[in-house]
Amino acid sequence: MKKTVLITGASGGIGKELADRFAKDGNNMVLVARSEAKLIELAKGYRERYGVHVKVLAKDLTLPGVAEEIYDELKNEEIDVDYLVNNAGFGLYGSFLETDLDQEMNMIDVNIKALTIMTKLFLPDMIKQRQGGVMNVASVAAFYPGPLMAVYFATKAYVLSFTEALENELTGTGVTVTALCPGPTATGFVDRSGVRSSKLYQSGVMEVGMVADEAYRDLLRGKTLIIPGAIHRFITSLPRFLPRKIMTGQIRARTEHVGR
């Protein structure tokens, strides 16, 4: 049966690639991001190519009350969401002493607050239907502290912890909860976050289509934790063996700018 999926941050990067895959399989979509023109263009393509229903919601998830607005708008139109993909997010590179607090608060609003409220609002309807799923996009950054991106790594640790706990609570409800933890991936994130010249991103990034292929396949299988790429599965296992301070130092060595 065809489903309805709501994807935040669907205007580009991982969110757009996931939208491509859901649409190709004939699912209906609700696309959320700030870039309305990009969403309208995408929606037009999906309708023409796959004959699916697509609703575009141009929303800024940093604003208070926006998640509630999205939920109410869909309720009024009797659109039931089967899959919620909380993908919108961004990072900020730099020493915490020098980074901009307003941007960091906006990051917490999108990466943590909006994700939590969206989950709170959409989950009860899925539970009633005893089907569906939530996928929260975390990161390999969720597994360790990240000097030079301290707030971003911490937001992703929240997402992973929250998602795994929720998965445990929802066992037996018929609803799946999934954390997607990509490593460095070639998307708009790289320039927006200012990480391009860090060793982390200079030493190789994953192609976004490969991330989306693994994510889409394993989300439909109801997997709890998806870490695309064998190398990233290995790296995220290291905190189990290394003392935390050494691990943090290792990450610092990778987040430094090339040449340092």
Ligand X SMILES: NC(=O)c1ccc[n+]([C@@H]2O[C@H](COP(=O)([O-])OP(=O)(O)OC[C@H]3O[C@@H](n4cnc5c(N)ncnc54)[C@H](OP(=O)(O)O)[C@@H]3O)[C@@H](O)[C@H]2O)c1
Q: Which residues bind ligand X (CB under 6 A)?
A: 8-15, 33-35, 59-62, 87-91, 110, 137, 139, 182, 184-185, 187-189, 192
Minimum separation from the CB atom of position 134 to ligand X (A): 14
Closest CA to 29 of 42, 213, 121: 42
Are the beta carbons of 147 and 248 closer than 8 angstroms?
yes
Residue among 21 and 59 whose Cβ is closer to ligand X = 59
Give the count of alpha carbons within 13 A of 39, CB side only.
21
Minimum separation from the CB atom of position 109 to ligand X (A): 7
What φ, ψ does residue 6 adopt, rounded to 5°?
A: -105, 125
Residue among 92 and 175 whose Cβ is closer to ligand X = 92
| Tokens encoding 119 | 């989950």
d(C-alpha 30, C-alpha 84), whole Å = 9
Minimum separation from the CB atom of position 1 to ligand X (A): 28
Residue among 17 and 82 whose Cβ is closer to ligand X = 17
* H/E segment holding residue 21: helix 13-24
d(C-alpha 73, C-alpha 71), whole Å = 6
Minimum separation from the CB atom of position 251 to ligand X (A): 14
d(C-alpha 115, C-alpha 71), whole Å = 13
Residue among 120 and 128 whose Cβ is closer to ligand X = 120
Does 152 participate in catalysis according to the annotation? yes
Q: Which residue has the tokens 């996931």?
A: 18
Torsion of CA 234, 237, 242, 248, to 10 degrees: 90
Nearest residue (beta carbon) to ligand X: 13
Minimum separation from the CB atom of position 199 to ligand X (A): 14
Angle, CA of 176, 182 and 184, to the nearest 5°: 170
- Catalytic one of 46, 83, 93, 152: 152
Residue among 56 and 123 whose Cβ is closer to ligand X = 56
Rg (alpha carbons) of the chain, rounded to whole number = 18
Residues with active-site annotation: 152
